[in-house]
Amino acid sequence: MSCRRPGVEGVLFDCYGTLIDILTDEHDIRTYRCLSRWLLYQGVRIAPRNLRAGYLRRVQEAADRTGERYPEVRVEGVFAGICADHSVWEVDTERLGAEAARAFRAASLRRLGVIEKSRRLLDLFGTVKKGIVSNGQRVFSEQELRVLNLYNRFDFVIFSSDCGYQKPDPRLYAAALGRMNLLPENVLFIGDNRENDVTIPRRLSMQALHVEDAWRRYGA
């Protein structure tokens, strides 16, 4: 195999905007009205506007505490704290935090579907090692991949919430390369963000294509 023109032995995909077409609105007060009503039946009373303000504040505070340049938080932990502070009877905050995170995602969701050209890319790469590296929350992002029949098509999935930091932190890419056990130059990264999914992977000696370029190159 030529060192200058290496073959593709592994492919890493971004998730949102690459494999999954999604639209959410985490600022719309309607999202928090829906979640506030749902929480009431779980034993947590908090008004929608207070819920929105508290959620956004706690996310920022949690991110600041990480000390990371590209911080990531686990939103189920944020919701667990909200539930603990506003419960009207004793609740299992860890369990409820995860359930509240998924209810929040459902309330904020406006569109969800597979990007068909990228599904065809998966078919074209066949048995090549495949992984996902995504700035996402495992608590609900894994569910979205599973319900769209994508999760089991990959050898592994790394979400930023697993790590406490987001792309373009090089540690995420290094973790993926470690899981593949391949040389960087033999791995192709495909995504929709030119900085996170093209520029940084190339800087780390990987091959990389914007997802639209990948569709054209591979005829998806």
Assess whether pLDDT exceeds 70 at residue 6: no
Say which residues have a Cβ less than 8 Å from residue 194's Cβ, sequence separation at least 6: 210
Residue 4: its pLDDT value, please? 34
Cβ–Cβ < 8 Å for 211, 118: yes
Residue 1: its pLDDT value, please? 32
The predicted-structure confidence for 16-41, as pLDDT tens digits, reads as follows 999 999 999 999 999 999 999 999 99
The predicted-structure confidence for 181-219, as pLDDT tens digits, reads as follows 999 999 999 999 999 999 999 999 999 999 999 999 998
Residue 50: its pLDDT value, please? 98
Assess whether pLDDT exceeds 60 at residue 147: yes
Q: What is the mean pLDDT of the chain?
A: 95
- pTM of the shown model: 0.93
Residue 187: its pLDDT value, please? 98
DSSP H helices in 21-92: 29-40, 48-66, 75-86
Q: What is the mean pLDDT of residues 67-82?
A: 98
Q: Is 64 helix (H, G, I), strand (E, B) or coil?
A: helix
How far is residue 118's CA from residue 194's CA, in Å, rounded to a whole number? 17
